[in-house]
Amino acid sequence: MNYFITLIFLLLSSSANAISHNDMIWFGILVFMCIYALAKKRVHGSDLKVLGILLFVYLAYVVLRDFLVTGLSFEYLQSDLIFPFKYIVLSFIYCVILRDKAPENIVNVIVHLTVVSFFFYFLQLVGFADTIYNFSESLGLPHANTIPGYTNFIIFTFTKDLHDIRNSGFVWEPGAFGCFLMIALLFHFFRNKFVFDKKAYILIIGVVTTLSTTNYLALIILLFLAYRYRVPKLNLYVLLMIPVFIILVIAIPFLGDKIANIYLDDMKSLENLKKIAKYHRDDQIPLNRFASMVYLWDTLGPNLILGLSNKYDEYINKVYNLNISNGIFDFFAKFGVFGFLFLLYDYVKYCAIYLAKNEYIVYCVLILLVISFGEPILFLPLILLFLFLPTLAKPDENPASKFDLPIIE
């Protein structure tokens, strides 16, 4: 049952399929999980206290923000009030059901879904992309994605003419799939003390198939973290690896040149946004990472400190129908810098359970910043789990206790 619940949880988090985009199905799954948790006596009074305090702080925050700062219409506040009962409660009840087994089950299910993706990705590469697309479309499964050529059949996503040589897995886009893989890899390394086993290699290969620059950078940071964890003594090789890494990022066209080109293209897109809008008409205009950041900064300004609304896209899309892809600034626009720091604090608390040295924690923070800069993933239930993992899913023994340095409290 734990495996099945994890599978459903991840499919809901994927924001890619008929399950994740149907509110009735979402609500039905949430009710089922609540009933299961109560029937199995997994919910304790202390758990409800944690949830109650979090919901009270969140609701007070968005209500005061709306009345005292933003002054938006009630529909925006209504969306903010619905959000925690859909996303945060889902993360909470999943964490309550599985507790310290949650990370292990997430790793197992993502590994299996990644292996499945390899099969379809292989077919995609050898010339059966149209077959995959036609098969998926023939199923008639609904989804809310408006990108031309997008199709999904629950366990695999494919976007015709856009991601022909990239692996999207079960998530909505290759870069987002890579984010899920990176979180799973973090969970796996935390639990097995950074041992490169079969599961680790599957997840790493999965990241490679996404052809995502941000995920490649995050993977490099994670591999360096693995090296530092296994070789904690600071030596000459460690000092040499830092400038080598910088040189590689600059020298390798896929990394340095691509990042520079993306930035330049993004700035041109913003300058010509009015012209681009004429060609897209009713379609969304995709803004890349840097363009999304600059546009939100210019449009919302100080509102990014407290956030505008979970439904901020309707506010900024009164002129242009935009698709924001920068996850950090997307979260700023939804819940503000304060909301982001709160989530980051809980993320750090969980990482510190397994990593005693502050240096290692910094690498973990960099990994989250890199993957969320590229994709809007921070509001998904998979990431919101970190609000509860440090308190509800702590292992019985502290894995970091073998280190001399104290963990972060």
Listing DSSP states for 277-292 in one string gives: HHHHTTS-EEE-HHHH
Average pLDDT, the chain: 84
Yes or no: say if 106 and 113 are a contact pair by the CB < 8 Å rule. no
pLDDT number for residue 407: 37
- CA-wise closest residue to 98 among 49, 20, 40, 26: 40
| Per-residue pLDDT tens over the stretch 279-298 | 555 566 777 778 888 888 88
**pLDDT for 12 beyond 60:** yes
The DSSP call for residue 172 is S
At residue 204 the predicted structure's pLDDT band, cuts being 50, 70 and 90, is very high
At residue 209 the predicted structure's pLDDT band, cuts being 50, 70 and 90, is very high
CA distances to 271, 272, 326, 341, 358 from 266, rounded to whole Å, are: 9, 10, 12, 27, 35
Helix (H) or strand (E) holding 324, with range, is strand 322-324
Non-local CB neighbours of 184 within 8 Å, separated by 6+ positions:
106, 107, 110, 111, 203
The pTM assigned to this predicted structure is 0.88
Q: Are strands 285-287 and 157-159 parallel, antiparallel or unpaired?
A: unpaired
| Per-residue pLDDT tens over the stretch 180-203 | 999 999 999 999 999 999 999 999
| Mean per-residue pLDDT, 26-32 | 92
pLDDT number for residue 405: 40
At residue 45 the predicted structure's pLDDT band, cuts being 50, 70 and 90, is confident
In sequence order, what E strands does 225-296 have? 285-287
pLDDT number for residue 404: 41
At residue 406 the predicted structure's pLDDT band, cuts being 50, 70 and 90, is very low
| Mean per-residue pLDDT, 351-380 | 91
| Mean per-residue pLDDT, 10-18 | 91
Give the SS3 label for residue 196. coil
| Mean per-residue pLDDT, 55-80 | 87
| Per-residue pLDDT tens over the stretch 102-155 | 999 999 999 999 999 999 999 999 888 888 888 888 887 877 777 778 888 889
CA distances to 287, 289, 321, 363, 374 from 262, rounded to whole Å, are: 11, 8, 21, 24, 12
